[in-house]
A = this chain, B = another copy of it.
Amino acid sequence: MRVLIIAAHGSRRKESNKEVVEMSKAVSKQCAGYEKVHTAFLELALPSIEQCIDQAVGEGAKHITVFPYFLAAGRHVAEDIPDIVVEKKEQYPNISIELASYLGEAPRLPGLIADLLSSEQ
């Protein structure tokens, strides 16, 4: 079973975290390659990324992809999330756990923003 974990920063505002969960549901409907799509948070909200990986393993995941839902490679993307993935790969040597490119690297992102702002005018 393939599981996708959408890993967001997390906020003190519950609405903000709920919004990320809704976005994950929308991704899930359009993303055929994964049996399950979960949402996890680095800070300020639960489940944590560690908890979410544990849960996926408990559910029988054999391949887990962690997707950093971040726009730029600040410390969280460059260090914190990779550190969690390394730690969990050591904990679960028989499970494939991979770190995907973060959202800000998506080649189509500037075009989406340009279209969005053109349509708002």
Name the one of B6, B75, B114 contacting A12, with C-beta atoms under 8 angstroms. B75
Contact B13 A78 (CB under 8 A): yes
Number of copies: 2
Known A23-B109, A116-B101, A116-B106; contact A33-B75, beta-carbon cutoff 8 A: no
Known A8-B71, A121-B33; contact A106-B112, beta-carbon cutoff 8 A: yes
A residues contacting the other copy or chain, number (CB 8 A):
50
A56 interface hit (Cβ, 8 Å): no
Chain B residues whose CB sits within 8 angstroms of the CB of A58 once the complex forms: none
Interface residues of A (CB under 8 A from B): 2, 4, 6, 8-9, 11-13, 15-17, 19-20, 23, 26-27, 29-34, 65, 67, 69-75, 78, 100-101, 103-104, 106, 108-118, 120-121
